[in-house]
Amino acid sequence: MAKRKRSKNKNTTPSSRHSSRVENASIVDEFSHDSCERQVDSLNKAIVLFQGYIDASKVSVEDYFNENQQTTFSKIDLISYLLNCVQRKNAEIEFRRDHLENLLGWILSQSAAHEDRVAKMLLEIDMTKERLSSEKAILSMHSSKMNYLIPSRKNSFA
């Protein structure tokens, strides 16, 4: 009787076929290693960009203050405004860094989990090889005993 082939589940996504279960789904929703690296790169670029904005705002405020001595802002107001801008940008940078650390932690944990799975599979392969070689030895021992007990056909017709 012919065996029926099992049909594959057509509804599997690439992440469900090739990666482990995401351990912290609130941080990352099915990111691949490449997309995490792209996010890390974009976060680093955003940090540099924000630092440039901070530096540019410092220069523009200083230029504005130097060019317009009769402005409605006093020197204290300008310093306070600048400090508030810097604090706000620092908070954004800190948030981006925390997010970056979370992504890196997730990447490392996924890598460690993958290494554990590979090591377990290699151990199972070694155990299976040992079991099969011992079964082969037992079968060859039994077959040699059977050959000894059963007379060959050449001798029975002679």
User: 93-148: per-residue pLDDT in tens?
Assistant: 999 999 999 999 998 898 888 999 999 999 999 999 999 999 999 888 888 777 76
Could you tell me if 106 and 31 are in contact, meaning their C-beta atoms sit under 8 angstroms apart? yes
Residue with tokens 């090591």: 119
The reply to whether 137 falls in a domain is yes
Measured CA to CA in angstroms, residue 66 lies from 49, 81, 85, 116 at distances of: 25, 16, 19, 63
pLDDT band for position 41 (cuts 50, 70, 90) = confident
Other beta carbons within 10 angstroms of residue 31's beta carbon come to: 19
pLDDT in tens, 58-104: 888 777 767 766 656 566 777 888 899 999 999 999 999 999 999 99
The reply to whether 123 falls in a domain is yes
pLDDT at 152: 59
The reply to whether 24 falls in a domain is no
pLDDT at 102: 92
- Residue 30 DSSP symbol: S
The reply to whether 14 falls in a domain is no
Distance of alpha carbon 12 from alpha carbon 95, whole angstroms: 34
In which domain, by residue range, is 59 found?
32-148
pLDDT band for position 158 (cuts 50, 70, 90) = very low
The reply to whether 154 falls in a domain is no
Residue with tokens 């377990």: 120
Helix (H/G/I), strand (E/B), else coil: 128: helix
Confirm whether pTM is higher than 0.85.
Answer: no
Phi-psi region of 6 (alpha: psi -120 to 50; beta: other; left: phi over 0): beta
pLDDT of residue 51 exceeding 90: no
Distance of alpha carbon 140 from alpha carbon 132, whole angstroms: 12
The reply to whether 7 falls in a domain is no
pLDDT at 27: 54
Could you tell me if 53 and 93 are in contact, meaning their C-beta atoms sit under 8 angstroms apart? no
Average pLDDT score over the chain? 77
Percent of the chain with pLDDT over 90: 27
Helix (H/G/I), strand (E/B), else coil: 8: coil
Q: Give the total number of structural domains in the chain.
A: 1
Token duo for residue 10: 């057509």
Distance of alpha carbon 27 from alpha carbon 24, whole angstroms: 6
Tell me which of 4 and 32 has the higher pLDDT.
32
The reply to whether 136 falls in a domain is yes
The reply to whether 4 falls in a domain is no
pLDDT at 125: 95
